[in-house]
Amino acid sequence: MANPTALVTGASRGIGQGISIELARAGFNVVVNYAGSEDGARRTAEECAEAAGENDIQTHIVRCDVGKAADRERMIGAAREQFGSLELLVNNAGITSIGRRDVLEAREEEFDALMAINLKGPYFLTQLAANWMRERDTSAEQSSPRFAPKVVTVSSISAYAVSTNRGDYCMAKAALGMMTKVYAARLAEFGINVFEVCPGVIASDMTAPVKEKYDKMFADGFTPIRRWGQPEDVGRAIVAIAEGYFPYSTGDTINVDGGFQIRQL
């Protein structure tokens, strides 16, 4: 049987790269999306091939700004042409708040730019992918739950933990939680389960500027598991979903945060 196929947005660096590598290790073909870092996307594809080892997986690199409708259409078209079916969409691409301005100084054009990438992109990319997934031949998934199509969206602990200098980021991440539930409710009848994966503080380019701050916070017990999250931590959680180990769950949030969400007295 052919491999299932995953499309990972923002796969040229950081968490998206880690997700792609873990999916390839598990025997998924990967559509590696990037916006500007073509070299990074090539590295992801190479590392996917290495991780896959004996698994004969394929990767396909596609440039697409997820905030742009024409780019999203082109990317889904390229994936369809290359692989014929899509078993997993991972909405991972995202940017941090532009300028990290105090909410009292936030600028409208920066708000719009972030919302286009972090919220509008996943909302309409999921729509495109889901309409494609609906058309599928369901015979393969009778023999293996990894062929049942799924959607995973990477949100953040910022969906519920406030940063007053990243209001737009926090709001977009909170909205992705509702997006997950809306699509979960709508797509269940088509056998498409939908999940939110909520990472804590993960080592990547996004968190590199605040590395010292978090080094100290982790050492002081900021999370019960006292270490930085790594991209592969998120990747492994997504592999568990992709493999079909949550067949009777949809609309759920999987926390990958070292226990950050636990309240303690």
Residue 261 to residues 26, 51, 164, 255, Cα–Cα distance (Å): 28, 31, 19, 8
Helix H or strand E segment including 252: strand 252-256
Nearest to 190 by CA among 152, 153, 151: 151
d(CA 86, CA 37): 24
d(CA 229, CA 225): 9
Residue 131 CB contacts under 8 Å (≥ 6 apart), including other chains: none
Taking CB under 6 A as the criterion, which residues in 65-104 touch ligand NAP? 65-67, 92-95
122 touches ligand NAP by CB under 6 A: no
Closer by beta carbon to ligand NAP, 33 or else 58: 33
Closer by beta carbon to ligand NAP, 118 or else 193: 118
Asked if 194 contacts 180 with a C-beta cutoff of 8 angstroms, the reply is yes
- Mark the segment that binds ligand NAP (CB under 6 A) among 32-40, 48-56, 101-109, 181-189: 32-40
14 touches ligand NAP by CB under 6 A: yes
35 touches ligand NAP by CB under 6 A: yes
Please report how close the Cβ of residue 231 comes to ligand NAP at its closest, in angstroms.
7
d(CA 137, CA 101): 48
Closer by beta carbon to ligand NAP, 30 or else 201: 201
Is 169 an active-site residue? yes
Closer by beta carbon to ligand NAP, 14 or else 149: 14
Closer by beta carbon to ligand NAP, 94 or else 258: 94
27 touches ligand NAP by CB under 6 A: no
The correct pick among 59, 204, 223, 250 for binding ligand NAP (CB under 6 A) is 204
* Active-site hit among 160, 169, 183, 248: 169
d(CA 212, CA 70): 40
Asked if 76 contacts 132 with a C-beta cutoff of 8 angstroms, the reply is yes
Asked if 180 contacts 253 with a C-beta cutoff of 8 angstroms, the reply is yes
156 touches ligand NAP by CB under 6 A: yes
Catalytic residues: 169
List contacts with ligand NAP (CB under 6 A). 9-16, 33-37, 40, 64-67, 92-95, 117, 154, 156, 199, 201-202, 204-207
